[in-house]
Homo-oligomer: A and B are copies of this chain.
Amino acid sequence: MREFELIQKYFSGWPLKSNKLKQGIGDDCLVWQSDVPLVVSTDTAVQGVHFPEGATGAQVAARAFLPALSDLAAMAAKPEFFTLALSLPANTSESWLASFAQQLRSFSEQYGIVLAGGDTTRSPVITVTVSVHGSSNSPVLRSGAKPGDDIWVTGSLGGAAAAVPFVTGADPAEAEPEWLAAYWNPPLPVAFALQVAAYLNSAIDISDGLMGDAGHIARASGVCLCINLADLPLAKGLADQGSQGLKLGLSGGDDYQLCFTAEPGKRAAIEQLAAGLSQKVTRIGRVEAGEAGVNWYDGGQLITLPWQGYQHF
């Protein structure tokens, strides 16, 4: 199939429109008109690195699109439009492509984000780069955490990492369904992030694991994040795995959830909002003045975690 036919067949005529998109697919560039600040993130997913060889089109769409969208949630930005750079081997089947496009279109409608442009090329390995563009008059940064803030996380931790053996060989029937869902199709806190934004001092997505990403808030804000291990909302079954489960929860990576900080006076409002959206949120510690970094507490004792954060390069 030739490039124009492919775009025409699978990526044109999607129902979602935006009146701010003055020119979409079909010219040298897309044209976007809005005076609200634009918030942009880019993520790449590579076959054999971010998803296994046999992943379906729908699975790859999720693994490629949701990490980028999660970055918009972390800024509390409203999803607006995205571009898709799709590199495919010559032997990619039409059914794979149909499954990929169908899932992407479904995300586009679910999150209200318009496909506005992109590029398709040949490649020996499936490679998908998604650039998401959102809008926000007051994006929530990593740098706003203040001493006295509560530290919160959304969702649960470590499920996607716990799923890895079961998506790369082991029998998936033996995995917790929650782990597989966290790996293949995590529910992103996009709606919650938009509504809770006004209460927050800082936020980050913890896709590289809470251990590393909490450190980013600490350094960007010049504060100490004091986190209680006992309060962490580990994914189902991980608490029983002892330090191995804790490691998956803190540095396994691929948790498309948020860590955020907010003044204690906002607790009731945040909890009420979360309850209204059936969004799980958990308070895990407190921001303190002091040397920028993360202090981990186990039963009130400051401890040192015996491993490094997740590294994806």
Contact = CB atoms under 8 A, between A and B. Distances in A.
Nearest to A134: B29
B40 A32 contact: yes
Contacts of A203: 28
Most chain B CB within 10 A, of A3, A31, A133, A205, is at: A31
Contacts of A84: 42
Given A49-B122, A72-B29, A117-B41, A311 B129 contact: no
A185 interface: no
A41 B22 CA distance: 14
Contacts of A78: none
Contacts of A50: 121
A85 B40 CA distance: 13
Copies in the complex: 2
A171 interface: no
A75 interface: yes
A59 interface: no
Contacts of A3: 311-313
A50 B127 CA distance: 15
A1 B123 CA distance: 25
Contact of A31 (B28, B38, B116, B142): B38
A132 to B, nearest CB: 8
A240 B49 CA distance: 49
A71 B123 contact: no
A141 interface: yes
Most chain B CB within 10 A, of A26, A37, A44, A72, is at: A44
A31 B75 contact: yes
A27 B124 CA distance: 32
Contact of A122 (B77, B123, B313): B313
Given A28-B205, A37-B33, A46 B142 contact: no
Contacts of A125: 123-125
Interface of A: 1-3, 6, 22-23, 26-33, 35, 37-46, 48-50, 71-72, 74-75, 77, 83-85, 87, 116-125, 127, 129, 131, 133-134, 136, 139, 141-143, 203-205, 220, 311-313
11 contacts: A27-B75, A27-B141, A27-B143, A27-B220, A28-B74, A29-B75, A31-B40, A32-B38, A43-B85, A49-B121, A127-B127
The 4 A-B residue pairs with the shortest CB-CB distance, nearest first, are A3-B313, A28-B74, A35-B35, A129-B129
Given A28-B41, A29-B39, A124-B125, 7 more contacts: A3-B312, A28-B71, A29-B134, A42-B131, A46-B122, A46-B127, A49-B121
